[in-house]
Structure 1
């Protein structure tokens, strides 16, 4: 069995299908999706339909992203947050206009069942954004922190490379887990297009919502499998640019 962490998809179904094929995924493999399935390219609703079907034949774990929570809230309440609409929400709204009521209900159930985080038997944490509580995501006072917080990743990037885990100044949050796999903050912001490792944190969001590819990372070997830059697969769209 191979285990993969999959970065933010943002409606790029063509990229998702491409990267799953390139990874030669089988039904024996475990797929851990790090969230943000929607808001970006035109296939947001189709991505959810695809994932629902994929979960019937494959071992999948679906983490909740901030954009997934925003779309779910809109589907439940019809409230239209202007900030959300400007940052990918309009593409999701347009995509959902093509679905039947029964399909929308099935998607709402999918969003409701997303996991805020997952801890595997080897004490690796999989979470969309991060966590601020020094005792781990299980102890956050506000659950939304795990799919919005960027301080974990910012701290990792700014960490003095000479610090060791036993040093007093070493971040306590990092010591809670063997490795931490996240998305949320595209590594394209630091001019990278492959997953970036800082301390014991792996950021697998390679900017699929913008000009980057979609990425699968083999959790155990760290092999990287990527799609073509997603914007090339949707040449007539602008994504979240």
Structure 2
């Protein structure tokens, strides 16, 4: 059994499938997905439907909520949030649903997603943890939105665990450097900016939790 983490798929279904094929995911493995399945890329609906298909086929997949799922949900409830979501990739998501808002089944799935998961040696969340709070696990907004927090990490509180997150895109070289310094700073950002056509980005990062290495898959959805 192996454990893998992926974040910020952003509608890139073909890249997701290629990454799973490369790592040879099997039904004894655990796949942790850290949010932002939708927006910006071409096939947000396809990404979620692929996750459901994996679950139906017996794969062990656990999913977290990202800020883009929250923006979508807020956009369906609050007219003030709708233009914010559309500006941040929501139009592409609607395009994957036939130029409509996501249907109730997909919205209910997004709503039910947890904000964090724990697995031996790791805390997994979308954006990070707020260590200015006495109990960082109580700040769910931070788990979706926080940035520039890693230098505030309380290593004693972590007690040997590593935080794995996405949300803030990094270049390949930055992620490799992050990996090299895990013993000094127990925070691993695995958002390689899959949906962006920018130097050093445009990749999906798979983090192998058991031996702390990464697999990169260049974007296949453009």
What TM-score, normalized by structure 1, do the two folds share? 0.78
Q: What is the Cα deviation at residue 58 of structure 1?
A: 1.2
2:74, 2:82 within 8 Å by CA — same for their partners in 1?
no
SS of alignment partner, residue 11 of structure 2: coil
1:135, 1:173 within 8 Å by CA — same for their partners in 2?
no
Q: What is the Cα deviation at residue 80 of structure 1?
A: 5.1
Q: What is the Cα deviation at residue 172 of structure 1?
A: 5.0
Provide the rounded CA distance (Å) in 2 between the counterparts of 1:125 and 1:183: 12
Provide the rounded CA distance (Å) in 2 between the counterparts of 1:195 and 1:172: 18
SS of alignment partner, residue 193 of structure 2: coil
Cα displacement string for residues 23-45 of structure 1 (whole angstroms, at most 9, x for unaligned residues): 00001100011111111111011
Mapping 1:11-22, distance limit 5 Å = 11-22=11-22
Aligned length: 210
SS of alignment partner, residue 209 of structure 1: coil
SS of alignment partner, residue 196 of structure 2: coil
Partner residue of 2:89? Answer: 88
Partner residue of 2:9? Answer: 9
2:34, 2:165 within 8 Å by CA — same for their partners in 1?
yes
Q: What is the Cα deviation at residue 88 of structure 1?
A: 1.2
Partner residue of 2:113? Answer: 114
Query: Equivalent of 1:179, from 162, 167, 174?
Result: 162
Q: What is the Cα deviation at residue 79 of structure 1?
A: 5.9
Gaps of 5+ in 1: 156-170, 236-241
Q: What is the Cα deviation at residue 72 of structure 1?
A: 2.4
Partner residue of 2:146? Answer: 149
Say whether residues 1:223 and 2:205 are aligned partners: no
Structural RMSD (CA): 2.3
Q: Structure 1 residues 80, 95: CA separation in 2 closer, same or farther (over 3 Å shift)?
A: farther
Provide the rounded CA distance (Å) in 2 between the counterparts of 1:18 and 1:136: 38
SS of alignment partner, residue 9 of structure 1: coil
What TM-score, normalized by structure 2, do the two folds share? 0.84
2:76, 2:82 within 8 Å by CA — same for their partners in 1?
no
Q: What is the Cα deviation at residue 223 of structure 1?
A: 2.6
User: Rg bigger for which structure?
Assistant: 1
Q: Structure 1 residues 219, 145: CA separation in 2 closer, same or farther (over 3 Å shift)?
A: same
Provide the rounded CA distance (Å) in 2 between the counterparts of 1:54 and 1:136: 34
Provide the rounded CA distance (Å) in 2 between the counterparts of 1:195 and 1:42: 30
Provide the rounded CA distance (Å) in 1 between the counterparts of 2:40 and 2:157: 33
Partner residue of 2:221? Answer: 234
